[in-house]
Amino acid sequence: MRKIAVFFASVAVIAAVGCSKKVDTDLDTTRATGEAVPVKHLSTSDPEIIPGEKAVKDALVQKEYDVAIQRYTALKQAVATPQQNDEYLSLYGQIRSELTDAADKDPKAREALTTLQVLRNGR
């Protein structure tokens, strides 16, 4: 039953993102200063720069990849400062890296990586 609920939640997120107006979802990986945003290694002990960021990382650590993607998508609404935007971009890189590493062995990670790419590319 939970798998069905997660599946429908994922489909709803994809449909909402795919069917809605495009609202600044372009994840440019450069800071406002023009320098690249470094991708940090996943660490749940770092202080939160964006409220809810730790929940995304915890879901990744627990291998709840679909939950991590859902929480990451919701996190965009909390980004209010340039520092938070930099952290949001860095978190994207961390999620992508974790999912890419796990995708070869875990079909759930592969599916979440595909979802993340759809969200990123708007398709």
Domain layout of the chain by residue ranges:
2-121
Q: Determine the pLDDT at residue 111.
A: 95
pLDDT tens column, 77-96: 999 999 999 999 999 999 99
At 115, the amino acid letter reads: T
**Overall pTM > 0.85:** no
For the stretch 6-53, pLDDT in tens is 555 555 555 554 544 443 444 455 555 566 655 555 656 678 899 999
Strand partners, 30: 36
Residue 21 has a pLDDT of 40
pLDDT one-digit tens code per residue, 87-120: 999 999 999 999 999 999 999 999 999 999 998 8
Q: Which of 24, 122, 30, 13 is nearest to 68 (CA)?
A: 13
Name the residue with higher pLDDT: 41 or 76: 76
Please report the pLDDT score of residue 120 as a whole number: 86
Alpha-carbon distance 96 to 72, whole Å?
11
Distance, CA of 62 to CA of 16 (rounded, Å): 26
